[in-house]
């Protein structure tokens, strides 16, 4: 790209004349390709002085083509991101379903304990840890059993059908559960009679997110170990 000398002057309104001439060296495009390199610089100023100005030579069709290329690139990237996310979701779901025998056995034993009123009792449902009663809650969001039924007035008897964790608050309205055959997320108000009145078309259940499946996989082993250790200590034969 060639260079050229550009002389600038400042207009003095009192003298009604151009004063203070200054000379600058500027790049001057010699062809369309070089012109495109400067297409964003139709006017260059220094302070209040215009030191370089050139008519933008990019045509409307060139601009449209440039936009179309950008749109195509963004669509391709979005599709790649979608496929990558879906593949990772399926991989994690398959990993959880691969633990089906362990999950089902844990739920079966936990449910039998709960139905016979043998689970550790708690004073207040919304303020307990999994280590206290092995059931998840909406405050601590720990991996544990999901209880079905009342905690009070039934001799501490309830049923267990899933293992997972409740969210709530800043953690979001969808809870994560699995029974070893299905993996899903359920809205915290899914059992409300006025669900659709309050939440419109928001689905009661949805596909599990990568974040939630990773959390389950990272914490399930510890929960499983803790429950079996409690069970063996509570009901095992004393030597």
Residue 38 lies in a domain: yes
- Is 13 within a domain? yes
The answer on 191 and 111 residing in a single domain is: yes
Q: Measured in Å, how far apart are the chain's first and last C-alpha atoms?
A: 93
Find all residues with CB under 8 Å of 184, minimum gap 6, and list them: 176, 177, 178, 205, 206, 207, 208
Does residue 68 lie in a domain region? no
In a domain, 63, yes or no: no
Let me know whether 110 and 217 are in one domain: yes
Torsion from C-alpha of 114, 120, 122, 125, nearest 10 degrees: -40
Assess whether 153 and 231 both reside in one domain.
yes
121 shares its domain with 184: yes
> Do 104 and 221 have their domain in common?
yes
Instruction: Sort strands 17-28 and 2-12 into parallel, antiparallel or unpaired.
Output: antiparallel
**What pLDDT does residue 204 have?**
80
pLDDT of residue 52: 56
102 burial type by CB count under 10 A (0-12 exposed, 13-18 middle, 19+ buried): middle
218 is a domain residue: yes
Number of domains in the chain: 2
Q: Are residues 43 and 140 in the same domain?
A: no
Q: Do 108 and 214 share a structural domain? A: yes
d(CA 49, CA 26): 14
CA 52 – CA 8 distance, rounded (Å): 9
The stretches in the chain having pLDDT less than 70 are 1-13, 15-58, 121-132, 149-157, 169-172, 191-193, 195-199, 237-239
Within 13 Å and on the Cβ side, how many CA atoms surround 74? 6
Same domain, 6 and 103: no
Q: Which of 19, 34, 53 is the last residue of a domain?
A: 53
The answer on 128 and 30 residing in a single domain is no
Same-domain check for residues 16 and 131: no
Residue 149 lies in a domain: yes
d(CA 86, CA 91): 9
Domain that holds residue 38: 2-53
User: Are both 44 and 162 inside the same structural domain?
Assistant: no
pTM of the full structure: 0.66
Has residue 47 been placed in a domain? Answer: yes
Please give the pLDDT value at position 41: 47
Residue 60 domain-assigned (yes or no) = no
For residues 114 and 19, membership in a common domain is answered with no
């Amino acid at each position: 790209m060639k260079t050229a000398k550009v002389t600038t002057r400042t207009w003095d309104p009192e003298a009604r004349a151009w004063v203070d001439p200054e000379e600058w060296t500027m790049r001057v495009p010699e062809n369309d390709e070089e012109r495109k390199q400067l297409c964003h610089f139709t006017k260059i100023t220094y302070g209040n002085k215009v030191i370089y100005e050139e008519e933008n030579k990019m045509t409307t069709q060139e601009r449209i083509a440039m936009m179309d290329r950008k749109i195509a690139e963004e669509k391709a990237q979005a599709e790649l991101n979608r496929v990558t996310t879906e593949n990772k979701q399926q991989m994690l779901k398959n990993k959880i379903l691969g633990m089906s025998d362990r999950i089902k056995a844990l739920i079966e034993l936990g449910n039998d304990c709960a139905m016979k009123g043998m689970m550790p009792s708690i004073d207040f449902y919304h303020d307990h840890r999994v280590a206290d009663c092995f059931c998840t809650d909406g405050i601590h969001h720990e991996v544990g059993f999901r209880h079905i039924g009342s905690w009070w007035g039934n001799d501490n008897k309830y049923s267990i059908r899933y293992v997972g964790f409740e969210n709530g608050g800043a953690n979001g309205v969808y809870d994560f559960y699995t029974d070893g055959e299905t993996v899903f997320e359920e809205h915290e108000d899914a059992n409300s009679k006025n669900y659709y009145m309050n939440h419109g078309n928001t689905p009661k259940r949805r596909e599990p997110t990568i974040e939630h499946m990773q959390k389950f996989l990272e914490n399930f082993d510890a929960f499983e170990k803790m429950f079996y250790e409690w069970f063996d200590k509570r009901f095992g034969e004393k030597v």
